[in-house]
Structures are given as C-alpha cells and as structure tokens.
C-alpha cells in the first residue's frame, strides 16, 4: 500500500503541537501543586479499595557522551562513581513513596529510561532491581523493559539484564548512516546493533524495540531508505520512528546542530511516507503516530482488540495505570493527578536530604480534564471516538458539550482527515499522518493559549 499525502495539507496542518503522552500535557503543570498534594493522592490510593493497576518508571540521567539531537533530561559524565550516589537517593525516594502508598503493591509494568540506564554497572543494576523488589511485587507476565544504548552493552550484559527480570529491550539506533551518526555525535556501527539483537533473541527476550529518528541533520529520503532496509533485515518486534524536534532554545545540546543541514519539511514527510510504505510491506502493523509492531507482538494485538493505551513512554498494552515515577525529572500519575520531580540533581538531592519527596510541580485534573483526556486518548490510540461511550462514562451529551469542537472538525473532515457521523468520530488513513492536529481540537488549554512554539511540529 502506497501512502501519499497532499503537500498542501502538510503546509496547512504541519504546526507545532503536543505529542499527548498525557492530557493535560506536562507544560500545563503548576508549582502550586506541591509535595502535600502528591502525598494526599498516594494516601487516597492506599485507602481506596478499587485502586488502578500500578506501573513504575525509573529515570537514570547519566550518559557518557552527548547526542546532539537529545531532548531528554541528562547528565553527561564519564565518572561512573556518580551512579552510586544517585542510587542511594533513589532508595530514599522509594522508601518515602512506599511509606505513604504502602509496600508490596503488584506491579505489571516497569521501565528504566534515561539518559542511559546501562550507564549503571551490572552490580548497580542488580542493586536497583533488588531495591524495587523489596518494595513492590513484580507479577509474572508483566512488561519489564529497559532502554539500551548499543555502545554500552555486550551479549554478556544482555544476559545479566535477563537474569535481573527484564523481558523487553529498547535499542536506541536513530539512524544507520555513518554521516548522520557523525553529525549527531552518536557513532555505532550497524554490525554492532545486529550482533546485540541476535544475542537478545538467543536469550529469549519477549520483545525487542528499535528507535529511529527522521529529520536529523544530513538525512535525506534516500539515506533514510537505506536505514529502513537495514531495520527490515534486523526485524525487531517493535519500531518507533520519531520525528526530530529542533528546539535549540529549549535544549542546549541541539545548538550544536546546524539548522541549514536539517531536511526540509517535504523531505521529512517523504521519510515518514517511506517508513509507512517499507514497514507495512515488511509485515509491520502501523500502531499509530510513530509506532510499528509485528502482527503477533502484544502491541499489535492490543491495537486489534481495542486495548491500546498511551502513557509517558508512548503507546502501551497496559491498562490505565497509576504510575510511581522515581528519579530526577520523572513524571508520575496517581489517581487524577500528575506530578514531576525536580529537574536537577542538586534540587533532587536537596529535597531528599530534608526528608521530602522531590515534587516541584504537577496538576490536579478537573472533570473537564478527565473528559477531554478520554477523547484525546481515544483519538491517539484507536483513531475512533464513540460518542455514546463518552456520554455514559462522563454523564454528558457529546454533541452538545463539544459543539464548538465538532464545528472546527468540519474543516478537517472536508480535507479527508476525519469522518464524523451522528455516533462516531473516526480518523482516516490520511488523518493518521496528522493525528496530533486532530487531537489538538479537543485541547482546552490550546483553545485559550495560541502560543504553540514550545511544541515540536507534527511532521
């Protein structure tokens, strides 16, 4: 199937907008939400008899070298001794959190992100997992994943990760082209990645993900085609194909990228189209926005069965979960609240030294927030909003409550991005290119704040 899109649509709708890993988005968090509010949410969860399932996210900020495209919260250092200190503070934070929410909760999803989680030594990773298991019960059959920089692991280290209980790996590849790798300061030979993926398969990891980025400096549609062809031979279970967001005013590392070397919007669109064409032809299911999976992967199964969800790590098979987030800058969700930790190690350590949780901002969601979150996540995950289901869940009349939004969607319907009838809103195949623009129609915060320059562009 050949994926095409009119360039006039690109010019019209390729605007800055959120990725909607949450709604409201993290830029709406406020400092008025404090540690006290978060503790109250934890205590309410502990008292509740029908608590949501629980996930755990741990942020490891350290990297040995700087990747110029990176927008993550990171600390670039070659001093591995800093990891031991960080782990001591993670332990303090977890002890404080479980003091309020209670120990022994069943956890079905754990993710280590960064930074570079494999910056930690084998012993440090073992200590971290032992600490998590002292406080939570990692249930059989859960998803336990870790982000892996191919430059920092060997087959022996992968075997160690498996022994620790990890069953899913995410390799940061970004691009196989040597020129692009050199330009973004992340050189990793393709042979190295192929050998590690082969070792992971031999070890029996349940799912292997590869991350790619399109829109990097020196990338062209032709060079990206070669990367896609190599990824097809690699055949990971899942592939994430992210659009590079060039925001040098926000992310200092990106100031090393020469803007003139970035591909044009038309070339970026061509790369997205190539990804859709190549990966669909190779048998991958397009999950949505930036994710692909083999048909028998749990993510593709969840998409077929209408069980797909979206959280701060992207698309997920796990049901709507409360999320305990640990580490500097980590974002959590408990009940109808979001919270974020301090963004610098100094602030993070200082709060814990005072016996406080390092919460610096967050948000208590309103009834309208919860309603709009349901609609936006239905668009992002299923590409389908059933009006009656929303009516029953939130005790509203969809067509009356969202009369303004439905009127605005007429313009998107006229150009073939959505289909709307009396009972449903559905994203069309073309609309999936611009699904963020469709979701943005329901974002109440954007309706009153048209300053969208802080977001990446949709394509």
Annotated binding residues for S-adenosyl-L-methionine, written as ranges, equal 57, 69-71, 114-116, 147, 174, 186, 211, 245, 331
How many Å apart are CA 415 and CA 421, to the nearest integer?
16
Tokens 């998803």 locate to 143
Going by the annotation, the residues of the binding site are: 57, 63, 67, 69-71, 114-116, 147, 174, 186, 211, 245, 331
Q: Which strand (E) or helix (H) includes residue 380?
A: helix 367-381
How many Å apart are CA 340 and CA 135, to the nearest integer?
21
Phi, psi of 421 (to 5 degrees): -130, -160
CB neighbour list of residue 350: distance below 8 Å, 6 or more residues apart: 342
Nearest Cα residue to 381 out of 23, 4, 26: 23
Written as six digits, the tokens of 243 are 């659009």
Query: Using N-to-C axis directions, what is the helix angle for 190-203 and 221-234, rounded to 10°?
Result: 30
How many Å apart are CA 283 and CA 287, to the nearest integer?
12
How many Å apart are CA 215 and CA 225, to the nearest integer?
13
Pairing of strands 291-293, 285-288: antiparallel
Specify whether the CB–CB gap between 336 and 124 falls below 8 A: no
Going by the annotation, the residues of the binding site for [4Fe-4S] cluster are: 63, 67, 70
How many Å apart are CA 122 and CA 154, to the nearest integer?
11
Specify whether the CB–CB gap between 63 and 331 falls below 8 A: no
Question: What's the angle, vertex CA 311, arms to CA 113 and CA 403, rounded to 5?
Answer: 155
Specify whether the CB–CB gap between 277 and 1 falls below 8 A: yes
As a whole number of Å, the end-to-end CA separation of the chain is 20
Tokens 């490891």 locate to 60
Positions of E strands within 24-166: 54-60, 62-63, 75-76, 105-114, 136-148
In the DSSP assignment, the letter for residue 457 is: B
Alpha-carbon 180 to chain mean position: 23
Phi, psi of 337 (to 5 degrees): -135, 150
CB neighbour list of residue 450: distance below 8 Å, 6 or more residues apart: none
Specify whether the CB–CB gap between 323 and 312 falls below 8 A: yes
* Dihedral sign computed on CA atoms, order 369, 374, 375, 381: positive
């Amino acid at each position: 199937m050949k994926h095409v899109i009119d360039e006039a649509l690109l010019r019209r709708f390729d605007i800055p907008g959120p990725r909607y890993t949450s709604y409201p988005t993290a830029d709406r968090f406020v400092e008025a939400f404090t540690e006290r509010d978060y503790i109250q949410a934890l205590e309410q969860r502990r008292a509740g008899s029908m608590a949501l399932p629980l996930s755990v996210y741990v942020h490891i900020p350290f990297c040995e070298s700087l990747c110029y495209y990176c927008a993550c919260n990171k600390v670039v250092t070659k001093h591995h001794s800093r990891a031991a200190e960080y782990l001591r503070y993670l332990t303090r934070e977890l002890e404080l959190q479980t003091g309020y929410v209670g120990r022994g909760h069943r956890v079905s999803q754990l993710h280590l992100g960064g930074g570079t989680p494999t910056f930690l030594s084998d012993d440090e990773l073992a200590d971290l997992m032992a600490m998590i298991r002292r406080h939570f019960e990692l249930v059989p059959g859960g998803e336990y994943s870790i982000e892996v920089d191919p430059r920092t692991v060997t087959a022996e280290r992968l075997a160690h990760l498996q022994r620790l209980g990890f069953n899913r790996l995410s390799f940061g590849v970004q691009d196989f082209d040597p020129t692009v790798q050199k330009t973004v300061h992340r050189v990793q030979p393709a042979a190295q990645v192929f050998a590690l993926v082969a070792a992971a398969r031999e070890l029996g990891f349940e799912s292997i993900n590869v991350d790619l980025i399109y829109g990097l400096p020196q990338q062209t549609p032709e060079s990206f085609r070669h990367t896609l062809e190599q990824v097809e031979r690699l055949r990971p279970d899942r592939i994430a194909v992210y659009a590079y967001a060039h925001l040098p005013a926000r992310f200092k590392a990106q100031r090393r990228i020469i803007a003139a070397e970035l591909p044009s919007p038309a070339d970026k669109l061509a790369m997205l189209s190539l990804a859709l064409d190549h990966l669909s032809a190779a048998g991958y299911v397009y999950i949505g926005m930036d994710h692909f999976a083999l048909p028998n992967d749990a993510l593709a199964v969840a998409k077929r069965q209408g069980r797909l969800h979206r959280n701060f790590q992207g698309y997920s098979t796990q049901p709507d979960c409360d999320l305990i987030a640990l580490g500097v800058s980590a974002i959590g969700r408990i009940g109808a609240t979001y919270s974020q930790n301090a963004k610098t190690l100094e602030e993070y350590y200082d709060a814990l030294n005072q016996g406080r949780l390092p919460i610096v901002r967050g948000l208590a969601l309103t009834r309208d927030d919860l309603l709009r979150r349901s609609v936006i996540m239905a668009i992002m995950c299923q590409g389908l909003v059933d009006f009656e289901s929303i009516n029953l869940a939130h005790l509203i009349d969809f067509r009356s409550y969202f009369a303004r939004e439905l009127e605005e969607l007429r313009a998107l319907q006229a150009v073939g991005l959505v289909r709307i009838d009396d009972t449903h809103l559905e994203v069309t195949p073309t609309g999936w290119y611009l699904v963020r623009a469709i979701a943005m129609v329901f974002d109440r915060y954007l309706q009153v704040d048209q300053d969208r320059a802080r977001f990446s562009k949709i394509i």
